[in-house]
Amino acid sequence: MNALPDTASPLYEKVKDYILTNIGAGKWSKDRKLPSENEFVAALGVSRMTVHRALRELTSAGFLIRLQGVGTFIAPPRPQSTLIEINNIAAEIVARGNRHRSEVLVLERITPTKELSLSFEFAKRPAIYHSVVVNFENDLPVQLEERFVNPSLIPDYDKQDFSKTATYDYLMQKTPVTEVEHIISAVPADAETARHLAIDIGSCCLLLHRRTWTGAVVATISKLTYVGSRYSLGSRYSPSRKT
């Protein structure tokens, strides 16, 4: 009668199975529309909310594309976006079998510049935390990390001893990251950076600029400068399709 599989799973899962199976069987051709929610209701004898949930979950899983006012379509095979994995520098150094050490240069509470406040998407200009740390691999400086931290999310940031705990680990543990923005560029070292990293002014450095969000709130802004001749970011990644 209603064509749904006879399993113990909840109804919306049966509807998902039914739709996926029929997509696999080519019941609805690649570029044509799937039945509307109301048509599924009539065909399967379940409520529209249940059909809607099934379709919504299949959409967020990438199988379908839905356009309000238009209909539901089979998603094209997804393009493989090339992803690079950025690891915690301390962990990476240790993983290579080398010795890691941090030196805290600055750990303070400051009033942000107008520009920085803008990056935090603040309406007002509350005080924020500011840290500058140099990371060493076998006593050779390889990375200068400057971080600005939102105190409303991480209140005790300036009380920590970041020569013991990596800033990265502390932040990851304190607040969930819901979104990350990265900008990678290559820049010549300025005078201050060169001094901290013990390199010549103008040497090539890898600059990783990162913003993280927790919900709608900017949690941290980081500027990570790697010495080009001493460090590179590496990763090996298997793009795997879900479900």
Task: Count the neighbouring beta carbons within 10 Å of the beta carbon of residue 64.
Answer: 20
H or E segment at 91?
helix 89-95
Closest CA to 166 of 96, 235, 86, 100: 100
Among 1, 6, 30, 69, binds DNA (CB under 7 A): 69
- Taking CB under 7 A as the rule, does residue 75 contact DNA? no
Residues 6+ apart with CB under 8 A from 171: 147, 149, 154, 212, 219, 220
Within 13 Å and on the Cβ side, how many CA atoms surround 117? Answer: 11
Within 13 Å and on the Cβ side, how many CA atoms surround 222? Answer: 22
Residues 6+ apart with CB under 8 A from 2: 43, 44, 45, 46
Q: Which does 239 bind (CB under 5 to 8 A by kind): DNA, its own copies, none?
A: its own copies
- What are the C-alpha distances in Å from 59 to residues 63, 100, 111? 6, 44, 44
- Taking CB under 7 A as the rule, does residue 212 contact DNA? no
Stretch that binds DNA, among 24-32, 68-76, 98-106, 131-139 (CB under 7 A): 68-76
Instruction: Quote the tokens at residue 201.
Output: 């002014």
- Taking CB under 7 A as the rule, does residue 27 contact DNA? no
Q: Which does 55 bind (CB under 5 to 8 A by kind): DNA, its own copies, none?
A: DNA
Question: Of the two residues 23 and 132, which places its CB atom closer to its own copies in the complex?
Answer: 23
- Taking CB under 7 A as the rule, does residue 19 contact DNA? no
- Taking CB under 7 A as the rule, does residue 170 contact DNA? no
Q: Which does 172 bind (CB under 5 to 8 A by kind): DNA, its own copies, none?
A: its own copies
- Taking CB under 8 A as the rule, does residue 21 contact its own copies? yes
- Taking CB under 8 A as the rule, does residue 146 contact its own copies? no
- Taking CB under 7 A as the rule, does residue 48 contact DNA? yes
Rule CB under 7 A: which residues touch DNA? Answer: 10-12, 34, 36-39, 45-50, 52, 55-56, 59, 66-72
